Each structure stands twice: as structure tokens, then as C-alpha cells.
Amino acid sequence: MHTYQNPVISGFHPDPSVCRVGDDFYLVCSSFEYFPGLPVFHSRDLVHWEQIGNVLDRPAQLPLPLPGAKASGGLYAPTIRHHGGRFWVINTNIDGGGNFVVTAERPEGPWSDPVWIDLEGIDPDLAWDEDGTCWCAFSGPAGGVNLARIDPAKGRVLEGPFPTWSGSGLKFPEAPHLYRVGEWWYLLIAEGGTERGHSVSVARSRSPRGPWEGAPGNPLLSHSGTARPIQNTGHADLVQAVDGSWWMVLLGVRPRGFTPDVHVLGRETFLTPVRWDEDGWPVVAPVPESHPAPGGAWHPFPEPPARDDFDGSVLAPRWISPFARPDGSWSLTERPGWLTLTATGPSLDRPGYTSVGRRQQHHDCRVTALIDPGTGRGGLSVRYDEAHHYDVQVGGGKAEVVARIGPVRQVMASVGVPPGPLALTVAMRTSGLVPASPELTDGGTTGPDTVAFWLGDPGAPEGRLLAELDGRYLSTEVACGFTGRVIGMYAVEGRVAFDWYEYVPAPTA
């Protein structure tokens, strides 16, 4: 019997939606202001997931370029389904256009241009009746869950919307998913807000039109008020495995630090088993840290390489950029074997700059990149948003560590460096934390981790520590919003080239 560890997709991968096609599972997540949008994952066992693409990977697919978005805006909760031999994703761009549907013959794409639907709200879902009728459940603008009968291929609303069941009375009933299981229709929703009160509730009816009966044990799942290491559990989707067992994918967080605890990786994707009681209601136990895996095939994928040498013709799908990635801002051919970034903005403190990065997925990790700034200026940034980021920046013969926390921007360290390529490292650790202030001992530490910046490799004799910063200021509870940390290469002046980028999920010095 195999055992899996939660989360099954770590780091900033919230609002998971899943479907099964034969022996394969496909999952999509929210991406908010990042481009490309809506990462697509494939699995054979619900435990091991491999990113195979992004749903929105062409600027033409967006009605307004995501540069018009804001931090934690852009692309909200998607739903993925398979019907009529095609994959369907329905989603909301809250910064332009509203709700839309895209389709593809293959989950890795290419995905179609959006078909827009005149439904005002967020978190849309798709479900088909036996006669082919398509229903869209969504969170309405006035609160509560609405339902409409639609033609998803043409974007037409055929009936409705009309209100349906809206939960057990907790705030923000949202994230609906509609299913036909046996003789019942089930409506799964999130409520309680996406913070510590987040929960999952369910209702059922003989018809998608209702009337709806809430489960007597609602909420179906919540970790609110518990000391469990996984919190904020909600925004779930159901799927049946090949062996007939039922499972739920959902978001959650792993907070750390002194009370009230903070989480820095964003909302992650977790997996938990589901059973059906004798009265036909789904029953979900608290989300485990580890659990026996679904029966059937055990299919680990090869781990993606820790180091990207930028020798290919395209960037891997895990690379993301805030708001946009204009064609002229990056190149893998201008200097073969290097990623060359061209500045499109002078500062990381407001949108419009050039950055390519990847999500932080482990509490203890290290990123090292070899940078040649030439006559430009750039480096490595740990980003939450434009008002919350830590950077190590090289240019003009010096290296600086800069902290931007809310309205405060401060240079934490500045040293001279020789021209030419040099290695930069940012390392996150959860032990030996820096104190909350220089006057306090370790007993006064409050942060979840320490973010350290180095010239060179921390494990090498020539490695030079530049600064160590408290990680809590790059957390959701401090910065606010729906995302998590992204560690990116950037340019804010001229052209800056990167020979390689290495992400190592391991405790660091």
C-alpha cells in the first residue's frame, strides 16, 4: 500500500479543479495576475502531478492584457471538465471581460480563444445533464450561488440565472461544483471565506433546478478552530478514481511562526478521501498530512530538473511572469544558452517590469542563478506583490539587497562587485531564524522563516552573506491577497542575461 504526503501540489496552486478521462486525471488552478495563466497538470494516480502546460499561453486569449490587472486580480477560480470528446475550462478574468469558456482536444493545448458568457459573477462551473443540457453554477454578484442554462460553445445564456442553494449560513458562499451521482444532483460549495474559517458544504436535489437540501452535517469539511497544521481548507472538487473510490482536491495552507501564524507559499492543493454514508451523503475526514493512496496504478513522474540551463527553444510551462511577458522582453536566442531579459520598466515597485520566475514550493529551499548584468541592472527577487518583495540586484559595479515592505523601501546591504557573470543566491530556512529586532535574542523571533541573500553559493568557500531578512513580511497575512511567493529573475535597466537558474528544495545554511 502506497502512502502519499500532502500537499500533492505544493506552493501557490489554489482553487484546484479536477476531471478524470479514462485512467488519467487533469487539474487546473487559479493563477491571478501571472502569465501564462491557469496551469494544467496531469496525473495517473491523483498523487503525482506533472505540469503539462497552461490554458492561457497566448496574449490573444485575453481580452485586455494582464498588465491592466492588479496584484491578486486577473484569473480567478477555473473549472475543468471533459465532455463530448473535448476538454472545457470555464473561468473569470475579473480585470476584463468576466466569464469565459475555452476548449481543447488535448489538455496540453492548444486551447481556443475565449468564448465570453454574459454572466456577472465569479467561480463558474460546468455540468451536463443526460440530455446534453449544460448548466453553469457560479457565485453571483449579490452573494449566493446562481444557476444558468447555457450554450458553452456559443457563450449564450439560454435560461436564468436564478438563485439556488447558498450554503449553511457562513459568509461568502462560492466555488460551486455541480455533479450527478446516481439519482441525485449534488452541489458542492465553499463558504466561510478563504481564511481560517474556510469550509466545504454540500446539498442535493433530484434536479439541478432544485429544491436543494443541505447535508445535516454541514459544513462537510472545515479545520476552523483546530490546531491542525493544515488550515484554510476549502474550495474543493470531487473525482472518482479508477478503483471506484472517491476523492476530493481542495486548497489549504500550512501556516508557521508565532501567533497568529502566517503562510508564505500561498494556498496549495491537497488531496483527501471521500466516502458515502448510508443516507447518500459524502463524508470527508479532516485533511491528513499523509494517507494511503488511491488504489490502482502508482505513477510517479520524473522530477523536473533542479537546474534550467536555458538551452531549449521555449521556456518550460512552470515559468511565470507578473502581468505579461511581451515578446521583446525576453529571448533564448539572442545569447544562445542564456535567458536574456530586456527591461520594460525601471522598478519592481509598480507593474510593467520584466521578470521570469517560478513559485516557491518548499519552506526550506535555495535558488541560485548566474547573472551577467552587462551594462544593465537586474537580479533575483522574492515577490509577493509590488509593495512586498525582497531583491538582490546587480548593476553599475555593485550588488544591493533591497527590501520593499508596504510604503517602506530600504537598501539592506551594498557591496562592490567585479564586472562579468556572478552567482546570486536567495535561501529560505525555517531554523535559526533572525530575531524580530537586533535587540532581541532567538526567543524573540516571530517570523515563519528567514530569507537570506548571498553572493555565490552559501555552501562554497567564496560564498558571501549579504543580508538576512524576516520572512513574515512576504506572507499573505501581512501583504494580503490570494497568491504566494514567486522567485524571479528580473531586469529593470538595459539587458541582463542569466546562464542558469537552480531551485533546490533543501535546508540551507
Domain membership flag for residue 297? no
User: Does the annotation mark 15 as catalytic?
Assistant: yes
Q: Look at residues 492, 496, 494 and name the one whose alpha carbon lies nearest to residue 352.
A: 492
* Final residue belonging to a domain, choices 181, 198, 219: 219
Instruction: Please report, for residues 304, 322, 457, the alpha-carbon distance to residue 505 in angstroms, rounded to integers and kept in the order given.
Output: 12, 23, 15
Q: Could you tell me if 313 and 445 lie in one domain?
A: yes
Domain membership flag for residue 233? no
Q: Could you tell me if 466 and 346 lie in one domain?
A: yes
Which of 15, 45, 400, 468 is the catalytic position?
15
Domain membership flag for residue 327? yes
Per-residue pLDDT of the chain (509 residues; tens, 9 = 90+): 799 999 999 999 999 999 999 999 999 999 999 999 999 999 999 999 999 999 999 988 876 545 567 899 999 999 999 999 999 999 999 988 899 999 999 999 999 999 999 999 999 999 999 999 999 999 998 889 999 999 999 999 999 999 999 999 999 999 999 999 999 999 999 999 999 999 999 999 999 999 999 999 999 999 999 999 999 999 999 999 999 999 999 999 999 988 889 999 999 999 999 999 999 999 998 999 999 999 878 999 998 899 999 999 999 999 999 999 999 999 999 999 999 999 999 999 999 999 999 999 999 999 999 999 999 999 999 999 999 999 999 999 999 999 999 999 999 999 999 988 999 999 999 998 888 776 665 556 678 999 999 999 887 777 899 999 999 999 999 999 999 999 999 999 999 999 999 999 976 44
Domain membership flag for residue 172? yes
Please report, for the domain that includes residue 424, its CATH number. 2.60.120.200
Q: Look at residues 458, 499, 464 and name the one whose alpha carbon lies nearest to residue 374.
A: 499
Q: Could you tell me if 201 and 334 lie in one domain?
A: no
* Final residue belonging to a domain, choices 204, 219, 234: 219
Q: What's the CA gap between 331 and 299, in Å, rounded? A: 35
Domain membership flag for residue 44? yes
| The pLDDT value given to residue 62 | 77
Domain membership flag for residue 289? no
User: Does the annotation mark 364 as catalytic?
Assistant: no
Q: Could you tell me if 209 and 325 lie in one domain?
A: no
Domain membership flag for residue 261? no
| The pLDDT value given to residue 66 | 56
Q: Could you tell me if 171 and 315 lie in one domain?
A: no
Which of 45, 123, 174, 237 is the catalytic position?
174
Peptide bond preceding 16 in cis form (omega within 30 of 0): no
Q: Could you tell me if 186 and 316 lie in one domain?
A: no
- DSSP H/E element including 367: strand 365-372
Q: What is the pTM of this model?
A: 0.96
Domain membership flag for residue 313? yes
Q: Could you tell me if 317 and 214 lie in one domain?
A: no
Domain count, the chain: 2
Q: What are phi and psi of 60, to 5 degrees?
A: -65, -15
Q: Could you tell me if 396 and 500 lie in one domain?
A: yes
* Final residue belonging to a domain, choices 219, 244, 274: 219
| The pLDDT value given to residue 442 | 54
| The pLDDT value given to residue 509 | 46
Q: Could you tell me if 182 and 320 lie in one domain?
A: no
Please report, for the domain that includes residue 83, its CATH number. 2.115.10.20
The range of the structural domain enclosing residue 316 comes to 307-504
